Structure 1
Amino acid sequence: MKPVLLAGETFHVTSLAAKGYEVGASSRYINGALRFIEALATRNIDVVQIGGDRCEAEFPRTMEALSQYSAVVLSDVGALSLLYTSETRLGQRSVNRLELLRQWVEAGGALMMAGGYTSFQGMDGSAMFRGTAVEECLPVLCLPTPDGVEAPEGLDPVATDLDHPILDGISHPMPYILGMNRVRLRAEPATTELLHCADRSGNLPLLAVRDYGVGRSLAWMTDIGPHWLSHDFMQWSGYNTLMVNMIRWLAREI
């Protein structure tokens, strides 16, 4: 299998500590995808990661560049990080990389969006994928409002299509999650919901897949790492299998 391109999942955290009049600052860099990358490595699937802060400069700008990958995963990276380019900052025309991704999927590519504070529409609405070309090829529709659901009590995944190859070899019940993005499932034959979680508003899609053109797309509405993905889920024996199956289904290997 060709490598997987993962865009996002990196964070710079700056803290201030005040001791009276004395204030000290510290900064640290966090990569939330380490567990996901580790899971894919168990099946010798290589991951090329472009952190959110590097997407403007480094995310592919052509179909040829995207074709070097078996799948693209967008995880906790907002639309603006992909739309901005060095040219647009100078007031010049440039490539729309969200439209480029849609065309690539339609022509046979494979796209996954994973959940997070800056996925789908986003915790405070800042991810802004609603109405974009990327949303057009996903199996779900983004809401027009902030979509983050925090669930400290835990949400339990429920399988709705046990016969799908992505869920092959997965034990049930699955461990709980601690949050997710609220979206709406597309009502069309090409879209299939595989997992959902129930909250007071009803069943929320957790995992959905779609055939789009001659390509495939997948939406996983919670994190691929902490904090929405609970410690129990990340330590669960089925985590590796589930993440690998998602990528292998997208790449048409299962």
Structure 2
Amino acid sequence: MTKKVLIAGESWVSYTTHIKGFDTFYTSTYEEGVKWLKEALEQGGYDVTFLPNHLAPEKFPFTLEEIKEYDAVILSDIGSNTLLLPHATFTKSEKRPNRCELIKEYVAQGGGFCMIGGYMSFTGIDAKTRYGETAIADILPVKMLEKDDRVESPEGIVPEIIKEHEILSDIPKQWPFFLGYNKTMEIPEGTVLARINNDPFIAIREYGDGKTAAFTSDCAPHWGPQEFVNWKYYNSLWTNLLNWLTN
């Protein structure tokens, strides 16, 4: 049976003000950064459902039954408020399930979970993402900072593989450069497979009957440059990771 993966996040809307002398006008664009990851997993045999940020508040699963339709869940560049503040709660003061707690229970009962880095992952830009204040902190294989956790590396920084693992099977030790990552800290419950600037880059953990992973840089630009997304081993990396999470 084909395994199913839910990817939430990896989209944004830009609203631009154009100033031309006395006059101004506005344009908006919608963009996604999911295509490389989605295509990699589909080519690896997975049935991938993509839930962009603007749909996630209402469409991300609210119940254990719904989320268990997926063998693994990936959060990438999606803040905790998007999961914690559905329309009914934010505008009507109505109760709804806590979906960070839901993910924790999903993993405890055998689900796979991965967080991928970005400006709206882990603690995030200006510490707005806030996963350290949620149940997600209990299941990740790393500890999050309590402040803006971005490490910007415009000069390029290359991760170092430090441990052999099936996730890195047939992946060379020489990687492309990255342009930044979310700084996290090692914990006894997690296993760090690769470091970047001596910080966790890829880490994994077993929690209850399930498994979790953290990839602290981006699966797409800008932290993940073209040299990474077009890397010969890009697809193998993500397929290996999901194979481990869902095995």
TM-score tier (shorter): over 0.9
Contact 1:2 1:68 in 2 (8 A): no
Q: 2:241 aligns with which of 234, 246, 250?
A: 246
The 5 Å alignment of 1:79-94 reads: 79-89=80-90, 90-94=92-96
The 5 Å alignment of 1:1-254 reads: 1-89=2-90, 90-162=92-164, 164-188=165-189, 191-198=190-197, 203-252=198-247
Contact 1:181 1:222 in 2 (8 A): yes
CA-based RMSD: 1.0
Give the alignment's TM-score, normalised by structure 2: 0.97
Cα-to-partner distance string for 1:5-31 (whole Å, 9 max, x where unaligned): 001001101111111011121111110
In structure 2, the gaps of 5 or more residues are none
Letter in 2 for 1:142: M
Offset of 1:155 from its aligned partner? 1.0
Offset of 1:172 from its aligned partner? 2.1
Offset of 1:131 from its aligned partner? 2.6
Cα-to-partner distance string for 1:61-96 (whole Å, 9 max, x where unaligned): 111101111100000000000011233121122200
Q: Secondary structure at the match of 1:153?
A: strand
Letter in 2 for 1:111: F
Q: Secondary structure at the match of 1:130?
A: helix
Give the alignment's TM-score, normalised by structure 1: 0.94
In the TM superposition, structure 1's runs of 4+ consecutive aligned residues that sit over 2 Å from their partners are none
- Percent of counterpart pairs with the same letter? 36
Between the two proteins, the alignment pairs up a number of residues equal to 245
Q: Distance in 1 between matches of 2:44 and 2:29?
A: 31
Contact 1:6 1:48 in 2 (8 A): yes
Q: Secondary structure at the match of 1:16?
A: strand
Letter in 2 for 1:144: E
Letter in 1 for 2:239: V
Q: Secondary structure at the match of 2:28?
A: strand
Offset of 1:44 from its aligned partner? 2.3
Q: Secondary structure at the match of 2:137?
A: helix
Letter in 1 for 2:195: H
Offset of 1:43 from its aligned partner? 1.6
